[in-house]
Structure 1
Amino acid sequence: MSQYNFTFSEVMTKKTKPYGKDLAFGRYFTDHMFVMEYHHQKGWYDGKIIPHQPLTLDPASMIFHYGQTVFEGLKAYATKDGEIQLFRPEENIARLNRSNERMCIPQIDPDLALAAIKELVRIEKDWIPKQEGTSLYIRPFIIATEPYLGVAPAKQYKFIIILSPVGAYYKEGINPVKIAVETEYIRAIKGGTGEVKTAGNYAGSLIAQQKSAAKGYTQVLWLDALERKYIEEVGSMNVFFKIDGEVITPELNGSILPGVTRKSVIQLLKHWNEPVTERKISIDEVITAHKEGRLEEAFGAGTAAVISPIGELVCEDNKLVINNGKTGETARKLYDTLTGIQYGELPDPFNWINKIDV
């Protein structure tokens, strides 16, 4: 049980739990959610777990007008021996507070945030699906609720956590996806909000995603905003390329989100003594490496999909089929290791797992 005194109001009628072929990503939600209030004169207060329900907000609430909001995404996993565990939740909470700082939102006590996540997951433990590749997605977020139309940081907020049982993020799963290089739109720029998780980043990316989907691509590869040549992210994931035996990922530059999975991939590769480098990498370098037969693999990394291999990359007139359109050895090993640790099937030498007492 939590050391924090969260009140709990249990739902009267519980929902039917979706499993099997019906379990998509982010379509279903559990019976309860966590809500906590903030007022500039009181700080954070009144943490409670209540039935999952609509929010009642004033139409002048600042979230609707100025987009002052942040969010996170992590997962709870059921092990074969009946345990429930989280993967590096402290990293997500730390990033939430970095996002708060950038968006002028009050900091959340990390211990309180973790206790709220664990208590809500503990209550909803029966919602954690058991099928291979499934998990319970955890979405903490903060919204500005003060009714005010002046452009300034709000004085009132809500911190909310909702849960969703999920299957694979991409229908392809660990199978390679087709990616289009985006040359018209940009995702973010240094000095903007690209390195934090705030809603506007994702809203602004939708038009490029929609355009690429109409042409049969799963996602887009984002280039830098200034020179339109250096690779930044793929969709909403960090991206890696294996060239001449070396794994390369774009260095964090103020516009790239510092992903928890990205950090874990780098740590794993170093643990295996495999060459891994964080640096600028241009789309021209990738195209040249492919033409010369030196581009061995490419893959995205993120919480939702874990590892998503790129089988085909298209940039204007250049069509790059990578590793014959098959999942590469490094991507497969990373996926198997990360998910093995997450589901308790492999040892955790890094102390990444945080178990929930049930």
Structure 2
Amino acid sequence: MEIAVTRVGQAGTRPKDEDLGFGTAFTDHMFVMDYSTDKGWHDPRIEPFAPVTLSPAAMVFHYGQAIFEGLKAYKTPEKKVQLFRARDNFDRLNRSARGLCIPEVDIDFVMDALKQLLKLEKDWIPETLGTSLYIRPFIIATDPFLGVRSSFTFKFFIILCSVGAYYAGGLAPVKIWVSKDHVRAVPGGVGEFKTAGNYAASLNAGEIAKKQGYAQVLWLDALERKYVEEVGAMNIFFVIDDELVTPNLTGSILPGITRFSVIDLAKKWGMPVSERKISMDEVLDAHASGRLKEVFGSGTAAVISPVGEICYGDRVLHIGDGNPGPVAMKFYQALTSIQYGTAKDTENWIEPVV
């Protein structure tokens, strides 16, 4: 399929790198493609970023049939533009599509569409370390129908946003709150898919955490309320003694691309890695005995986010000395060096754009 391109009349201006927040500085153009059962995916186009017109009866509004991804484009010191593990993101998008009865996309085609969009918007990619161009592909159900079934029509979008650090404090360790009364997902449900409803389900507990001064919620398993699963915006890792421990994927945890990257690097470095159940009782015991050395999260938005405090009921665990730990920093520096092109990509994770 040929991609039609309609340019804006007057280009916008990217905010200065030092003024960038997260999620508000959208670029001039977006990619759009439609789906219908008789035509399949069709009418691919790059057009000006603008509001979308949908029927108030569009199924996405009523039944939540929506999936999305999050990845980034980076600019190297040589001004080259590159993507980090982008095909893995689109592979995960298709996995979410299968779980939500949404038609899959052709990964080679959408990769080409994304590259065309990035070439058009390359001036929106900031250059300072810690900044990037956030990429949000998503698919929504568009049938104007008030009945419970899978939609027959869909829209696929890719929108772009110049971003700074996800957390205002950058790499400063964040505080997380363990929810005992709320659960986000159960095995056999849609917790392992990147779908809109998963995030809506996290908002109430997230607000409770913020009112108590915490940045994120740490979720426990839904059945026994004792095993650690993930944080609202990232997967979680514990350094216990010299071992890196992270919850195993049980069907209710998002299989994070950065999570896989951390595990791959740790194994390459010869660091013991364990993907297994880890209970809060084990975390408490490891902390009390001095064996809990570090806690950090991983995700596309923040890359690596050190955790400095965990609140669990009436227990508050202070992790480390208030600074990012050496293990978290080693992963952060290794990943960002590859992403920004200041180190050799020995893992074949980089996809060049221009």
What TM-score comes out, normalization by structure 1 length?
0.98
Q: In structure 2, what is the Cα distance between the partners aligned to 1:333 and 1:321? A: 21
Give the secondary structure class of the aligned counterpart of 1:139.
Answer: strand
CA deviation map 1:2-23 (0-9, x unaligned): xx52000000021121123321
1:323 aligns with 2:320: yes
- Look up the match of 2:306: 309
- Look up the match of 1:83: 80
Q: In structure 2, what is the Cα distance between the partners aligned to 1:250 and 1:118? A: 34
CA deviation map 1:21-74 (0-9, x unaligned): 321000110000000000001100000000000000011110011000100000
- Residue 302 of structure 1 and its aligned partner are, at CA, apart by 0.2
Q: For residue 317 of structure 1, what is the amino acid of its counterpart?
A: D
What is the total number of aligned residue pairs between the two structures? Answer: 354
Are the counterparts in 1 of residues 17 and 127 from structure 2 also a CA contact under 8 Å? no
Q: For residue 188 of structure 2, what is the amino acid of its counterpart?
A: G
Give the secondary structure class of the aligned counterpart of 1:41.
Answer: coil
Q: For residue 134 of structure 1, what is the amino acid of its counterpart?
A: T
- Residue 279 of structure 1 and its aligned partner are, at CA, apart by 0.3
1:292 aligns with 2:289: yes
The alignment's C-alpha RMSD in Å is: 0.8
Q: For residue 282 of structure 1, what is the amino acid of its counterpart?
A: S
- The percentage of aligned residue pairs carrying the same residue is 57
Listed as ranges, the gaps of 5+ residues in structure 2 are: none
- Residue 290 of structure 1 and its aligned partner are, at CA, apart by 0.2
Q: In structure 2, what is the Cα distance between the partners aligned to 1:30 and 1:129? A: 12
Q: In structure 1, what is the Cα distance between the partners aligned to 2:274 and 2:226? A: 19
CA deviation map 1:69-112 (0-9, x unaligned): 10000000000001100000010000000000000000101111
Q: In structure 2, what is the Cα distance between the partners aligned to 1:134 and 1:236? A: 18
- Look up the match of 2:131: 134
What TM-score comes out, normalization by structure 2 length?
0.99
- Residue 326 of structure 1 and its aligned partner are, at CA, apart by 1.9
- Look up the match of 1:349: 346
Moved more, 319-328 or 47-56: 319-328
Give the secondary structure class of the aligned counterpart of 1:35.
Answer: strand
Q: For residue 73 of structure 1, what is the amino acid of its counterpart?
A: G
- Look up the match of 1:168: 165
Q: In structure 1, what is the Cα distance between the partners aligned to 2:118 and 2:203? A: 31
- Look up the match of 1:148: 145
CA deviation map 1:160-192 (0-9, x unaligned): 000000000011211101111111111111011
- Look up the match of 1:95: 92
- Residue 244 of structure 1 and its aligned partner are, at CA, apart by 1.1
Give the secondary structure class of the aligned counterpart of 1:340.
Answer: helix
CA deviation map 1:114-141 (0-9, x unaligned): 1111111111000001122100000000
Aligned to 2:223, which of 214, 221, 226? 226
- Look up the match of 2:197: 200
- Residue 159 of structure 1 and its aligned partner are, at CA, apart by 0.4
Aligned to 2:179, which of 177, 182, 190? 182
Give the secondary structure class of the aligned counterpart of 1:180.
Answer: strand
1:32 aligns with 2:29: yes
